[in-house]
Structure 1
Amino acid sequence: MAVPACDFTVFGGTGDLALRKLLPGLYQRERQHNL
């Protein structure tokens, strides 16, 4: 079953958490085809 595309928005003061933790985690999930 195909899932429609969506937007991913991250809110934060500096973006540090997103760059250090969230985005690398999402990248690894995509590489492992778990996303």
Structure 2
Amino acid sequence: CGMARLSPRSIAATGTFMATAVVTVFFIRHLLGGF
């Protein structure tokens, strides 16, 4: 991760990646009928 030097682009990339991961897990769990 490029969080050592807090450049705006690295922060945005990390935030986008984490948001995408959360949304992906959310949709997969709902598609599989889990909670």
Q: Normalised by the shorter chain, which TM-score bucket?
A: 0.3 to 0.5
Normalized per residue, the structure richer in helix is 2
Q: Give the structure-1-normalised TM-score.
A: 0.47
Query: Per chain length, whose mean CA-contact separation is higher, i.e. which structure has more relative contact order (CA < 8 Å, sep 6+)?
Result: 2
Q: Give the structure-2-normalised TM-score.
A: 0.47
